[in-house]
Structure formats: C-alpha cells, structure tokens
Amino acid sequence: MNSLLTLENVKKTINGKEIIKGISFSVQEGEIFGFLGPNGAGKTTTIRMIVGLMSITDGDIIICGKSVKKDFSEAIQHVGAIVENPEMYKFLTGYQNLLQYARMHKGITREKIDEIIELVGLTDRIHDKVSTYSLGMRQRLGLAQCLLHDPKLLILDEPTNGLDPAGIREIRDHLRMLTREKGMSVIVSSHLLSEMEMMCDRIGIIQKGELIDVQEVNAFVEKGERLTYVFETGEIDAALLWLQEEYKAHITDTGFTIQCQRDHIPELVKRLIECNVAVFSIKPVSKTLEDRFLEITTG
C-alpha cells in the first residue's frame, strides 16, 4: 500500500507552549482517515500544518513523496482542502464561482468543470446563485472547487459541521465514491463520533496534542469485547433454567438478553432449537465508537 500522506514526529510550539507534541501517522491510498478529538485537542493546528497555513516547528510532513518543509509547492499540488468555510461569492452562480477558481489554476477545462459538477450532484442547480443554496449544497460546491485540479489527497476540517443528517449522509456518500472511483485518499477531522464511525476506514484519536490511538474502525468498535445480544424468541420455558444459570440471561417480554462473545452464539442457537425454542432475531448491541472514545480520552 502507498502512503499518500505521512506525518513524521510533527511538533508545533506557539509562544513557548508545545501544542502538538510529536505526531506520526500515515494515510494510505484510497483510505478515509478520521482525525478525532475533543475541542482544543490540536486537530485544526495539525491540518493547518499539513496544508501549509502554519509552519512546522519540528518533524516533517510528506505528501506524495514530497516534503512540505522542503518542496512545498510540489507537495501541495496533490492536495485539495477545505480548512475554513469555503469562500464563495454568494451573488454569483455556482458555475461562475467554479470558473473564477479555475482561472487561477492552469489546465482546468470546461469539460473538467462539468464532470466535477456532475460528480458532486449539482448539475440541476449549478446556474443558480449561491445565495439560494442550502448549506449542504454550499459544502458540495466547496468540494467541487477543491476537486477541480484532480488532487490525490483531500483534507476536510469538520466537513459536516452544521449539516443536517441528510446533508451529512450526502457528504459521506460523496467521499466514499471519491475514494472508490478515483482512488483518492481523504483525511477528515471531526468531533462527531458516530459520523466518523460510519465514514472512516481508520481513526486516529488526538488529545492534548498527542495521538493516543489509531485503529481500524471495526477493530476499534469491537476489540474482542463481550457484547450484549438481544434475542427475540418464542416461549423459552424449556430453556429457561440453563439460560439463566449458564448464560445469566435476562428474561424479557419478547425473549432474553445475554452478554457473551460472538463465537458462543452458534452453540447457543443450536441448544435453543434442540429445546424447540423459536428464534426470530438476534441483535448485537455493540459498543459504539463514542463509548470507546470516552473510555480512551477519560483514561
């Protein structure tokens, strides 16, 4: 796997205070990497260093093999970023905004602009004034703008900020599509935990300027723990005794709940069937990323 972005022991000191205390991680090709942390943890500071809005005190950042410190213009040409709210001229149409941006960069053709508009799903409204756009549409226009020069790495600081659930879903679907169809890598920062859980492949947790955990989302959520399973069943009379004694089952109106490891489920179902208990559904109640996040950040 190719790393598109690598942070090597990156530090930032402002007014004698070390805000970022040596952060290292890589983002792979085609990956959506989530940068998660409480307010003031150092997400924006780190992202500002990646895109060159802030100098790096120590360490280095490598984008597509180029050092941000030594070859900034070569490194940054592979990056599309929305760091602060994307600046748009509200009195112009979406299309005029994109043309305006395209004029500042070499080699962006009208065909390219049309392709990107289609990609972010703005074809129907692109000739309307931006002042008439919803927040979600403005975000998509911002996304279109930073995609015009075909970046390999997309950096989005809190991309779902202020969006409603439908808008969040739209952005999520677009990011997935970009990684799948264009092999792009994405780094997103957020404090919206459940959102990150659905959007990202891997998540790095930052707290007080340190990266304290990097995990694949699935591993992060499960981590081999016993989960609670909710069983919806028919009458359980014949199985009642052993369910309570061996499994410490909690009997409910519609069946029972138990805590166990996933591997124990097939055997349990087999025994229920042997006792003529009808099993209608089994739902795992997993620990959410939020539970894990709070566990980790509160020590």
Q: Which residues of the shown chain bind ligand ATP in the complex (CB under 6 A)?
A: 14-15, 19, 37, 39-45, 191
* Contact between 27 and 185 (Cβ < 8 Å): yes
If the CB atoms of residues 97 and 139 are measured against ligand ATP, the closer one turns out to be 139
Q: What is the CA radius of gyration of the chain?
A: 24
If the CB atoms of residues 43 and 138 are measured against ligand ATP, the closer one turns out to be 43
Shortest separation between residue 135's beta carbon and ligand ATP, angstroms: 18
Compute the half-sphere exposure of residue 63: CA atoms within 13 Å on the CB side of its CA.
27
If the CB atoms of residues 40 and 65 are measured against ligand ATP, the closer one turns out to be 40
* 257 contacts: CB under 8 Å, gap ≥ 6: 228, 229, 230, 231, 249, 250
If the CB atoms of residues 54 and 227 are measured against ligand ATP, the closer one turns out to be 54
If the CB atoms of residues 14 and 219 are measured against ligand ATP, the closer one turns out to be 14
**What's the rounded Cα separation, in Å, for the pair 145 and 82?**
9
Across 273-290, b (16+ Cβ under 10 Å) vs e yields eeeebeeeeeeeeebebe
Shortest separation between residue 125's beta carbon and ligand ATP, angstroms: 30
Shortest separation between residue 84's beta carbon and ligand ATP, angstroms: 11
Alpha-helical (H) ranges within the chain are 43-50, 72-76, 94-103, 110-119, 135-147, 165-182, 193-199, 217-222, 240-247, 265-274, 289-297
Shortest separation between residue 158's beta carbon and ligand ATP, angstroms: 7
Shortest separation between residue 41's beta carbon and ligand ATP, angstroms: 4
Shortest separation between residue 46's beta carbon and ligand ATP, angstroms: 7
Shortest separation between residue 192's beta carbon and ligand ATP, angstroms: 10
Residue type, 43: K
SS3 per-residue string spanning 16-41: CEEEEEEEEEEEECCCEEEEECCCCC
If the CB atoms of residues 108 and 154 are measured against ligand ATP, the closer one turns out to be 154
If the CB atoms of residues 15 and 73 are measured against ligand ATP, the closer one turns out to be 15
